[in-house]
Amino acid sequence: MIEIQAGTLEGFRPKDGPLAIFLLEGDGLALHPSLKKHAPQILALARGENLRGRAGQVASVTLGNQKLLLAGIGKKDHVDQEALRRTCAQVARYAQSRYTTLGVGLPVPPSKRLSTVDLAMAAAEGLALGTYRYTKYKKISKEEEPILQKAVLLGSSRDQAALHKAVHKAGIRVDSVAFVRDLVNQGPSDKKPETLASLARSIAKGPIRAKIFTKKDLQAMGMNAILGVARGSPVEPCFVHLTYKPRGRARKRIALVGKGITFDSGGLSLKSPQHMETMKMDMAGAAAVLGVFKALPVFKPQVEVQGFMPFTYNLPGGDALKPGDILRAYNGKTIEVLNTDAEGRLILCDALAYASKMKFDAIIDLATLTGSALVALGSKVTGAMTNNKGLWEDLQRAGQRAGESLWELPLVSEYKDSLRSKVADLQNISSIRGEAGTIIGGLFLQEFVDTAPWIHLDIAGTAWSNGTSAYQSPGGTGAMVRTLIEYLESL
């Protein structure tokens, strides 16, 4: 990922690299006022290159001795943070193999609703995330090696305080997103529960404390659902509990609960090889929680945040859970396991029941829970299910500001009956197959939270990207990290 800095347009020289500016679809430029005097010439150059400002188009032209990167940002009415984030990612990708440094002439905010900080943050996020690559296990040849080192966000001298603030805030977010992407992309055998627990311990500095429960602790506590899922694996499970306390009085107490299946084979209800290919990503919920905690000591929100992460493999070893087995969860409810591939809800029900015993103002869980989430909402929209409208509205708004979409699915109580078991309090899959899988997952989890405001985020679709899109590369995406940081900052 490249480094982002703030600077002034007046101080930018041709030797500092090309200057990126934004071309509107139709005709016109989204330009900083200090560049307006060059607008007619720039537009003529754009026309000469047949550039029409279509989103995603990037080309270089020369004005005097200054190289310009003309970046299409789309229609004027659609210019917002997300458009800028995407366009900046495209600019950075274009520049990556061509230049070592780059200036970006920020447009003025298109409406009163957006501040210079908002725009500059979006630009910085796009530039950094667009150049993220996962190279831990890959040899990169000299020719493939990107040469772009840094991009400078340019505004007038009056904008400098805003630009510095934006670069700082965006830096925290993209560092956390990259950290989560790295974790999700890591090979499944290289991220054992104990490895991730050590990582959590290394994050627990300053205002963060870590408590790690081992298999023995889980047995003593009665976390039998987590233990059940872990039975098919030779590697022991663990449960990580992180606590961040702000200085002074906390305005709110928030719990973040993340699914940490370090590989999901399906267990005895074995997945097909094709469905297993990406299952190293089944810890993306827990990774997102770790990513948020990594950011907390830097952005220091005035809220207490606790993280709960059950970690285990889901494997079909000799002692594995068998369909028909009955588990007694932490809160005493019994669960008939009819499908060992519906394991996320098993480890989460213990974690949620545990968190529910402490009084939180909100409990947010993140889980790659159901393949149905991908069917229902695709890979760009996270499914949300909640018992509290206010919490949903807060998160949806945070998502909008952060550039991540969420959509609410209803926790239809009529569907609850389908989770009734003949021999236990609950069964872990619905008796009606192939219907409303994501909602069923949410309804199951709801049985383990009491009355606390709670929201379940199914990131099975959004935590992983199959192709390259504006500021995502194939693999882990870091879904919901920016949204959660934005949410915690807003409290």
List active site positions. 271, 345
282 lies in the binding site for Zn ion (CB under 5 A): yes
Site for ligand BES in 430-449 (CB under 6 A): 437
Task: Single out the segment in contact with Zn ion by CB under 5 A; choices: 62-70, 90-98, 280-288, 404-412.
Answer: 280-288
End-to-end CA distance of the chain: 30
Q: How many CA atoms lie within 13 A of 188 on its CB side?
A: 22
Residue 454 sits at the vertex; the CA angle it makes with 451 and 456, to the nearest 5 degrees, is 140
CB 23 within 8 A of CB 72: yes
Crossing angle for the helix pair 389-402 and 481-490, to the nearest 10 degrees: 120
Nearer to Zn ion, 129 or 440 (CB): 440
Q: Which of 81, 116, 370, 396 binds ligand BES (CB under 6 A)?
A: 370
Q: Which of 343, 350, 394, 447 binds ligand BES (CB under 6 A)?
A: 343
Nearer to ligand BES, 253 or 271 (CB): 271
Q: Contacts with ligand BES: how many residues (CB under 6 A)?
A: 16
CB 321 within 8 A of CB 268: yes
Least distance CB 475 / ligand BES (angstroms): 13
Both tokens of residue 84? Answer: 């800028």
Least distance CB 443 / ligand BES (angstroms): 12
Nearer to Zn ion, 331 or 428 (CB): 428
Both tokens of residue 271? Answer: 């997945």
Site for ligand BES in 165-204 (CB under 6 A): none
Q: Give the x/- contact pattern for ligand BES in 321-340, rule: CB under 6 A.
A: ------------------x-
Task: Single out the segment in contact with Zn ion by CB under 5 A; choices: 220-228, 258-266, 300-308, 328-336.
Answer: 258-266
Least distance CB 269 / Zn ion (angstroms): 8
Nearer to Zn ion, 282 or 304 (CB): 282
Q: Is 384 helix (H, G, I), strand (E, B) or coil?
A: strand
Residue 445 sits at the vertex; the CA angle it makes with 466 and 363, to the nearest 5 degrees, is 85
Q: Which of 55, 196, 254, 342 binds ligand BES (CB under 6 A)?
A: 342
Helical ranges in 97-242 per DSSP H = 116-130, 160-185, 193-203, 215-221, 224-230
Both tokens of residue 119? Answer: 């725009």
Q: What is the layout of strands, in order, in the sheet containing 326-328?
A: 326-328, 334-336, 426-427
Task: Give the distance from CA 460 to its chain's centroid.
Answer: 11
Residue numbers at the binding site for ligand BES (CB under 6 A): 264, 282, 339, 341-344, 368-372, 374, 429, 437, 460
Residue numbers at the binding site for Zn ion (CB under 5 A): 261, 264, 282, 341, 343-344
